[in-house]
Amino acid sequence: MEEYEIVCRELEKENGQAYADLMDKNPSRFCKAFLTPVQCSDAILNNVCECFNAYILEAKSKHVIDMLDEMRTTLMERLYRKSVDMKSAGINSTVCPKVRKKLKLWKWDLTGIPCLHACAVIHFLKHNVDDYVHEYFSLSKNKLAYGYGLPALNGEKRWPPAEGYPVVPPPDKKMPGRPKKVRMRDPFEKDPTRPNRMRKICVLTCQKCFQECHNSRTCKMIQLKCNLSQR
């Protein structure tokens, strides 16, 4: 909090409007200075949603049935990997594998994980570091979170036929104008019918003001001069 107040005073001296805008956003919602030891975490981002979005990134482009089935399969694999990691970690430690790697790096008072100085003192006293890690990161708590599994389902070929109206895509809407028969190619893309012919790229240039991207007929500078002469 002391560092936070010092930086806020410096910001207010540098730019009062920026300081006022920051205070309107309620810094207690996203600033680490306001974190308490209750959460046992120093994260200020919504990592749960970000992880879930990363899991369904490829599945979101599929049909709703295939999307849900892939999400179910991915979660089943995740729960299995977690159970294997917990069994392998329980041989030498009572702390979660990822938290074990974070030892000596995190602030003890905020995260419940001993920092570098705390680990040095604990080893000097010939105590076990695992005993000083918060129970929130213990294997017993981890098993409560990942100790369940998703029930298996039959494949799509053995699903019962669905009742009701079939799910169909929305009807095609006819766009105005003559329909195109050939897609628009990139300016640097060759014509497939004549692959050896280079496509000429022309840049439209005005002959009045010598500016690009317009011609003399649509030149705004000429139109402006005509309006001024009429006045």
Q: Which residues contact 109 (CB under 8 A, 6 or more apart)?
A: 37
124-172 confidence digits (pLDDT tens): 888 887 787 877 777 777 778 777 777 788 877 888 887 888 778 788 8
Q: Which residues contact 114 (CB under 8 A, 6 or more apart)?
A: 103, 104, 106, 108, 122, 129, 132, 133
Helices (H), 45-130: 47-55, 64-89, 97-102, 108-111, 116-124
Which pLDDT value is given to residue 10?
Answer: 92
SS3 content of the chain, % helix, strand, coil (to 5): 50, 5, 50
**At 157, is the secondary structure helix, strand, or coil?**
helix
Taking the C-alpha atoms of residue 128 and residue 130, their distance in angstroms, rounded to an integer, is 5
DSSP letter at 138 equals B
AA identity, residue 165 = Y
Which pLDDT value is given to residue 2?
Answer: 83
Q: What is the pLDDT along the chain (231 residues), one digit of tens a residue?
A: 888 889 889 999 999 899 899 888 888 877 878 877 776 666 676 677 787 888 788 888 888 888 888 888 888 888 888 777 777 765 566 677 666 666 655 575 656 677 777 778 887 888 887 787 877 777 777 778 777 777 788 877 888 887 888 778 788 888 888 877 777 777 667 777 776 665 555 677 787 777 777 777 777 776 666 665 655
CB 89 within 8 A of CB 101: no
Tokens read off for 142: 């981890």
Tokens read off for 46: 């919504």
Taking the C-alpha atoms of residue 23 and residue 44, their distance in angstroms, rounded to an integer, is 17
AA identity, residue 210 = F
